[in-house]
Amino acid sequence: MFFSGRTFSRSAAALVLGALSLAQAQVSPTEAALDAVPAVRAVRPGEAVPGTPADLNASITVRYGSATPNAVLLLMPGFLGGAGSFDRLARQIVSLDAGVAVWAVDRRSNLLESGAAIANADPAELVRIVQQGIPARPASSLTFMKNWGLDTTLRDWREAVREAHTLTPNVFIGGHSLGGTLTGLYAGYDFGNAPYGAAPTPDDQIGFKGVRGLLMLDGAPGNTTSDPISWDQYQNGSVGRLGYVPGVNRLDEIPYVNSLIFNPTYASRAVAQARLATTAPDALAPAGGLVPYAATNLAAGLSQLERQYSLLPFLTLRTGEATNAAAIPNPLPRLLGAAENSQFVLGPADPSHPVGWVADADAATDPLDFVGRFWNPLSDYAEWYFPMRLSVDVGAAQLDTVGTPYATTLRVWHTRAVSTPILGISAQNGITTENDYRHFAAFTRAAVTTHTLPGASHLDITVAKSDQVARWTLDWLRGITGPSQSSPTDSALLRQN
């Protein structure tokens, strides 16, 4: 072998080839490769809950990648989130390793959304939805949601885990934000029907025994958007960081999250605005829409979530900033737990032009990519009808319910070591730190690997331009399962060359 007139030894050649392989492995999938990843929505029977219409007793997943994978990673969305929140990350993982399938979970409440109205809306109808929204279903028609709590959510998820096991023994679960919390609670959940305190449940009924690892993305048990609550608060209600949270005795009246900050009608308006921002980002947003001033579609769609303008620290990402904006300091996010002061946009600095939006090349997330993935025919980024019972139950369960009044119904019993490995990834400007994962691992005596995504806010962790989260995830999976049957060069990298 010759190079520049000099003979290479066999060992030197191996070093060069190894370096070339490493360089190739670091090439990120193209946007075309991400778009080419196959995806299908699967609706299967879920937990049969008394009082719930049969068609809503469902276990739902959006499945990315191969139908015959070497490994399946099932991902649970966060508070107010849907399966669409994983669209970019799932495609990155599958593009980098075609041997891994990602199944993004939709909770059963996503079936209550008016997806057809969004899918069939022309631009004029989208404008109307941005302005008026799709009317929410009356609470009186959804009283059965009072039973859609932790037990129902985890058992629906377990049905998908069981199906994944028919394809491969390499089944992993994970989630973002509240989904990370639910991942930990699933691991310690006793799915047996024996009363609390009875003989030990067989191993195959304990959550962690059915999965090979737990992935937590800026969310962990004991670190959630749900405040810890007492038994009285669980029964009769309490006031948390986001306002009044009903107890289980009032869930007939308030079965889903319905506040000034978030409600089903507002969620439909946000989806419609995202669709307008995708097709006409620089056009003028509908008057009377999401912002009370003249703005472009992209500015109206992103200003509610952008880190420097968002009111809620757990609903933030980093894409860019508003242009032609007159703004003042807004201390409210600090009161809700944000790490720094936010700004409140008053309107255009020059009234003859709307507030616009400019992307920041150094920001974690691409603005047009984000709004473009906010809704698609398979899934939605948001969950319009988030079950209030699930929020109440998570506030009660926290890490474990052993020795508490909740133990008989919220069966999170870490009575055995959760030996399943954990991967915890924090956003640098998110709601968790690597120590939160270490704390949970110490509590459960599990092995833990941790990382922090630099420059990322809470939502960036699943929608970032970078595929670093996907690579960390795949490295961890391979450390448990060994190499996939399909390597990166078998999938996305070949499609780039």
Q: Work out whether the CA dihedral 445, 446, 447, 451 comes out positive or negative.
A: negative
Burial class (CB in 10 A: 0-12, 13-18, 19+), 102: buried
In a domain, 111, yes or no: yes
pLDDT, mean of residues 467-491: 80
In degrees, rounded to 5, the angle at the alpha carbon of residue 301 between the alpha carbons of residues 295 and 304 is 100
Helices (H), 133-177: 150-165
pLDDT, mean of residues 480-492: 59
User: Which residues 6+ apart lie within 8 Å of 306 measured at CB?
Assistant: 316, 317, 318, 319, 320, 321, 322
Is pLDDT above 60 for 496? no
Over the chain, what is the mean pLDDT? 88
Residues 216, 174 share a domain? yes
What percent of the chain lies above the pLDDT cut of 70? 86
d(CA 6, CA 164): 54
d(CA 330, CA 345): 9
In a domain, 47, yes or no: yes
Residues 97, 202 share a domain? yes
Residues 169, 158 share a domain? yes
Give yes or no for a contact between 184 and 217, defined as CB atoms under 8 angstroms apart: no
Residues 99, 67 share a domain? yes
Q: Of 333, 353, 378, which closes a domain?
A: 378
Residues 357, 237 share a domain? no
Q: What are phi and psi of 61, to 5 degrees?
A: -140, 145
In a domain, 395, yes or no: yes
Give the number of C-alpha atoms closer than 13 A to the C-alpha of residue 424, restricted to the C-beta side: 31
SS3 for 320? Answer: strand
In a domain, 327, yes or no: yes
In a domain, 6, yes or no: no
Residues 197, 241 share a domain? yes
User: Which residues 6+ apart lie within 8 Å of 267 measured at CB?
Assistant: 80, 113, 382, 383, 384
**110-166: per-residue pLDDT in tens?**
999 998 999 999 999 999 999 999 999 999 999 999 999 999 999 999 999 999 999
In a domain, 198, yes or no: yes
Q: What is the DSSP letter of 209?
A: G
Q: Of 378, 406, 425, which closes a domain?
A: 378
CATH code for position 67: 3.40.50.1820
- Poorest-pLDDT segment among 53-62, 77-86, 237-246, 364-373: 237-246
Residues 452, 314 share a domain? no
d(CA 426, CA 392): 25
Per DSSP (E only), the strands in 430-490 are 448-457
**279-311: per-residue pLDDT in tens?**
999 999 999 999 999 999 999 999 989 999 988
Is pLDDT above 70 for 339? no
In a domain, 53, yes or no: yes
Residues 158, 55 share a domain? yes
Question: By 3-state DSSP, what share of the chain in percent is helix, strand and coil, each rounded to 5?
Answer: 40, 20, 40
Tally of domains in the chain:
2
pLDDT of residue 493: 32
Confidence of residue 429 (pLDDT cuts 50, 70, 90): very high
Give yes or no for a contact between 496 and 33, defined as CB atoms under 8 angstroms apart: yes
Q: Which residue is associated with the tokens 């030990």?
A: 200
Helices 150-165, 178-187: inter-axial angle, 10-degree rounding: 70
User: Which residues 6+ apart lie within 8 Å of 374 measured at CB?
Assistant: 84, 270, 271, 274, 275, 278, 301, 380, 381, 382
pLDDT, mean of residues 5-16: 32
Is pLDDT above 80 for 461? yes
Residue type, 311: L
Is pLDDT above 80 for 15? no
Question: Which comes out higher in pLDDT, residue 46 or 243?
Answer: 46
**212-235: per-residue pLDDT in tens?**
999 999 999 987 656 678 899 999
pLDDT of residue 495: 35
- Poorest-pLDDT segment among 18-27, 338-347, 364-373: 18-27
Residues 439, 368 share a domain? no
In a domain, 22, yes or no: no
pLDDT of residue 334: 64
SS3 for 199? Answer: coil
pLDDT of residue 398: 87
Residues 360, 398 share a domain? no
SS3 for 295? Answer: strand
Confidence of residue 389 (pLDDT cuts 50, 70, 90): very high
Q: Of 358, 378, 398, which closes a domain?
A: 378
Give yes or no for a contact between 330 and 346, defined as CB atoms under 8 angstroms apart: no
d(CA 96, CA 64): 12
Residues 319, 188 share a domain? no
Residues 235, 225 share a domain? yes
Confidence of residue 23 (pLDDT cuts 50, 70, 90): very low
Q: Domain range for residue 200?
A: 32-261+380-496
Element housing 13 (H / E): helix 10-25
Q: Which residue is associated with the tokens 């639910």?
A: 182
Per DSSP (E only), the strands in 351-447 are 356-359, 375-376, 379-380, 422-429
pLDDT, mean of residues 56-65: 98
